[in-house]
Amino acid sequence: MKLIVGLGNPGADYERSRHNVGWMIVDAFAKKFRIDISKHEKDAMTGEGRVAGGSVRIAKPQTFMNNSGDPVRLLVNAYLESTDELMIVYDDIDLPLARLRIKPSGSSGTHNGMRSIVASLATERFPRLRFGVRGAEYPDGRLRDYVLDDFTAEEEPLVNRGIERAVDALVLFARGDLKRAMNEFNRDPEENPNP
């Protein structure tokens, strides 16, 4: 089984915020594969389905972002033999808008949700997909407010294309082909020149 966890904050106020793009991505993945994320277990909403011939569980922790670690640890202990089968999907302010970065392991960086997960799992060895949320109008020094703001109307088309790419990358992970996902999606998407 693969476990794909999107990070976000519960509540309507945060639904379309930059910080919730992890939830947006796993929701899009679930929709594509008709996976119903409606089971409440271990402080998370979860759903299970078949993707690329294998079993995939999707989870959205219902704790606030900074406490994501406990639900992730409980889910990992319940369903996985190795953290190599875990994928955490989350926003990254250090990446340009809609840019993807997939890695098999690494530090938590400045992301509090990831810090919580690394502390709870006591390892940095698990795959992660980071989605860039730094728009052109990023105001230095307003990090907390900025990530809790919604994407602008101008940013939405690029964000939506990025979410589609992230879903495609997660399909490769579900197939057990993390390396191919990294090779294909860590490259910047080709520019779409307008005549």
Output the DSSP codes for 110-170. T-HHHHHHHHHHT---S-EEEEEEE-TT--TT-HHHHHHSBPPTTTHHHHHHHHHHHHHHH
Which CATH topology does 2-185 take? Rossmann fold (3.40.50)
Assigned token pair, 140: 């230095």
Give the C-alpha separation, 31 to 27, whole Å.
Answer: 6
Give the C-alpha separation, 156 to 144, whole Å.
Answer: 20
- Give CA separation, 23 vs 18, 123, 128, in Å: 10, 23, 14
DSSP 60: E
111 is catalytic: no
Q: Which of 18, 19, 42, 111 is catalytic?
A: 19
Q: What pLDDT sits at residue 191?
A: 46
Assigned token pair, 182: 């990294």
Instruction: Decide: residue 145, CB within 10 A, 0-12 exposed, 13-18 middle, 19+ buried.
Output: exposed
Assigned token pair, 58: 């999707």
Q: What pLDDT sits at residue 179?
A: 94
Average pLDDT of the chain to the nearest whole number: 89
Q: What pLDDT sits at residue 140?
A: 67
Q: Are 90 and 111 in contact (CB under 8 A)?
A: yes
Q: What pLDDT sits at residue 53?
A: 87
Quick: pLDDT tens for 7-52: 999 988 888 888 899 999 999 999 999 999 999 999 999 999 999 8
Give the C-alpha separation, 72 to 44, whole Å.
Answer: 8
Domain ranges (residues) in the chain: 2-185
**pLDDT range class, residue 90, cuts 50, 70, 90:** very high
pTM for the full predicted model: 0.92
| Mean pLDDT lowest among 21-30, 89-98, 105-114 | 105-114
Task: Please measure the distance between the N-terminal and C-terminal CA atoms of the chain and give it in whole angstroms.
Answer: 46
Q: What pLDDT sits at residue 168?
A: 95
Q: What pLDDT sits at residue 190?
A: 60
Give the C-alpha separation, 42 to 122, whole Å.
Answer: 18
**pLDDT range class, residue 192, cuts 50, 70, 90:** very low
Q: What pLDDT sits at residue 135?
A: 78
Position with higher pLDDT, 152 vs 143: 152
